A and B are shown apart, each in its own frame.
Chain A
């Protein structure tokens, strides 16, 4: 038994985008224990949503919970508010919401992949992935008017319409993107040094994933077929637009990369289907009612299942809003999957979890 070192990563570290703290206990650079501390970003959004903001404003506030999946947050909140108001939104708004969620998934997955590449010490691949990712940011800007923080979903519908020229340009850019995605797939799959770093690192078995309640690409890489898009049909018709479940079996960093890359193909297909069959209707359902009763909503964010609970009491201000973000479910498994790995792979493993702590801590 060698001497044990404690290596802290965080709250500020080059391989982290956001403040989180991992304390690894290592023996000859092999990790034997991990402590995670994720609540650096707690701001008190839930409390403010129930006291300071009116229920129509809250959809803009919860978008600021997380900049990467802000559309998932605003959509999930809008859906829960619509349940409380007991209104049905127009069909076109539903499809436009799905469109932006899938575009957001493309940009989020590519960001995660590039971050994995950078933390594996592969700067050129980071640059390449970031270069290919820019198209999704431009498309999101064309659709929503902002590169991040779209505020696209509002209570009752969506805020902007999709113009025909924009729809056309989305199809063209996606067609251009497919060969680039094939190229990325080839590198992530076949590069020898990257596979040395990624294969077998941060692995988790299917049983552990089930026991520790893992969601999102993290679970699907371990072979656990969990996807809200596969389960709910009432709010957004995912199966109609061509959703397909992607799973891998090995559960390591490599499998997570593969899940993300293959999900991109699915997202591209979904977007094409949506644009080709977009129904014409109004964009927003107006109502003068106030939220009443209790409701829950589940939605598949890029990182996994997002859960919203809200309770209204017939006033402008909600009585309670509860957000359970996907990373919150994954934290236990995140700390466990490090054990037995080299410290050298730890940054790549952290990036491959795609942790979103501002979601977790709110």
Chain B
């Protein structure tokens, strides 16, 4: 066991409203409240992109807020998962085609989980975030593989040895 395997026990959430109607944002707030209590999955709403694992985006990305969205995404450390909450974050929704916004978050940053609904229900948000946990775990493993591919062959006394490297990597991916 290493520290990375505990990552999915306490994913930290970053929430950004990219120009939505606040509807999904108050549902995210309701998720943090006692009734839906997302903290039982170890999630804390942190305001700091440098320390968070899951980015919750709401709203159709307006032209003003898209710079901030991309900047926040770039500041988050790998591995990171993006969850787009609400119809307008997924596709643009009712705002699609209005002159100041374009359709959805995935035009700017890669989105892993789409949560539909206008407004999104807290149960759906929890479901989406729990799915994001699985993706986070996969991404963590994929990162470990690339690290192993670099490091393992150099272990034996400076000589490059690629014997059985495939066997060692296989369990990490499964």
Q: A contacts B directly in the complex (CB < 8 Å)?
A: yes
| Option from A47, A111, A131, A356 in Cβ contact (under 8 Å) with B35 | A131
Q: Is B65 an interface residue (CB 8 A)?
A: yes
Cβ–Cβ contact A13 & B47, under 8 A: yes
A48 to B29 Cα, complex, angstroms: 30
CB distance from A38 to the nearest CB of B (A): 10
Q: Can you name 17 A-B residue pairings with CB atoms under 8 Å?
A: A12-B68, A12-B72, A14-B46, A18-B17, A18-B25, A19-B65, A41-B19, A42-B64, A48-B98, A48-B99, A64-B21, A64-B23, A70-B21, A131-B33, A133-B30, A134-B35, A149-B21
A346-362 CB mask vs B (1 if < 8 Å, else 0) is 00000000001010000
Contacts from B to A (Cβ < 8 Å): 14, 16-27, 29-30, 32-35, 45-49, 59-60, 62, 64-65, 68, 72, 88, 93-95, 97-101, 118-119, 121-122
Docked CA distance A195–B23 (Å): 30
| Residue contact B100 to A44, C-beta cutoff 8 Å | yes
Using a CB–CB distance below 8 Å, which chain A residues touch chain B?
11-15, 17-19, 39-45, 47-48, 52, 60-61, 64-68, 70, 111, 114-115, 126-128, 130-131, 133-134, 137, 146-149, 356, 358
Complex CA gap A98/B45 in Å reads 35
Residues A358 and B20 in contact in the complex (CB < 8 Å), given A42-B100, A67-B26, A111-B29: yes
Closest 3 CB pairs of A and B: A14-B47, A67-B23, A130-B33
Closest Cβ of chain A to B115, distance in Å, is 14
A contacts with B: majority SS: loop
Closest CB of chain B to A77's CB: distance in Å?
Answer: 14
Which residues of chain A come closer than 8 Å to B29, judged between CB atoms?
Answer: 17, 111, 115, 130
Residue on A nearest B39 in the bound complex, by CB: A127
Other A-B contacts than A15-B47, A43-B98, A60-B94, 13 sampled, CB-CB below 8 A, are A11-B68, A13-B47, A14-B45, A14-B46, A43-B62, A43-B100, A44-B99, A47-B98, A68-B23, A70-B21, A126-B33, A130-B30, A130-B32
Establish whether residues A17 and B64, one from each chain, have CB atoms under 8 Å apart when the complex forms: no
- The docked-state distance in angstroms from the alpha carbon of A133 to that of B32 is 13
Q: Which residues of A contact B68 (CB under 8 A)?
A: 11-12, 19, 40
Of all chain B residues, which has the CB nearest A107?
Answer: B26
Q: How far is the CB of B71 from chain A (nearest CB, A)?
A: 9
